Amino acid sequence: MLISSVCAQQHLEDIVSARISITRRSAALPFIILGLLLTILPSSRPTFDSAFARLFEIAESTTLDITDSSRVHAMNTIRTVFLDAKGGLAAAPYVERGFLVSISLFWSPKSV
């Protein structure tokens, strides 16, 4: 497994970790994950896809072990990837799901 893949998985798990404290638009975490995903992409599309699936899993989670701030960090990361020129092209297959998740979180009784 590539070092960047291991780092990406660790940072994705940091989103749900209670050991970090991130405020103000998730700090640099979305950009760190974006950089790692763009490094992974040329050699391993499946790893990129599994990382993106994990971001959506966190964002859509309704379990108590994933906090509202973790969901916000996941959505901020998804947004950052979509807004990046290269990341947005790579994430194009996920635009519909991203839109639906955004709307569902915005309209949920407990908005994140």
Q: How far apart are CA 110 and CA 112, in angstroms?
A: 6
Domain boundaries, the chain: 3-107
- Judged by DSSP in three states, 1 sits in coil
- pLDDT by position in tens, the chain (length 112): 567 677 777 777 777 775 666 565 567 888 988 998 898 888 889 989 998 999 999 999 988 888 888 888 889 999 999 999 999 999 999 999 999 998 988 765 655 4
Give the distance from CA 112 to its chain's centroid: 15
61-86 pLDDT, tens digit per residue, is: 988 888 888 888 889 999 999 999 99
Answer whether 0.95 is exceeded by the pTM: no
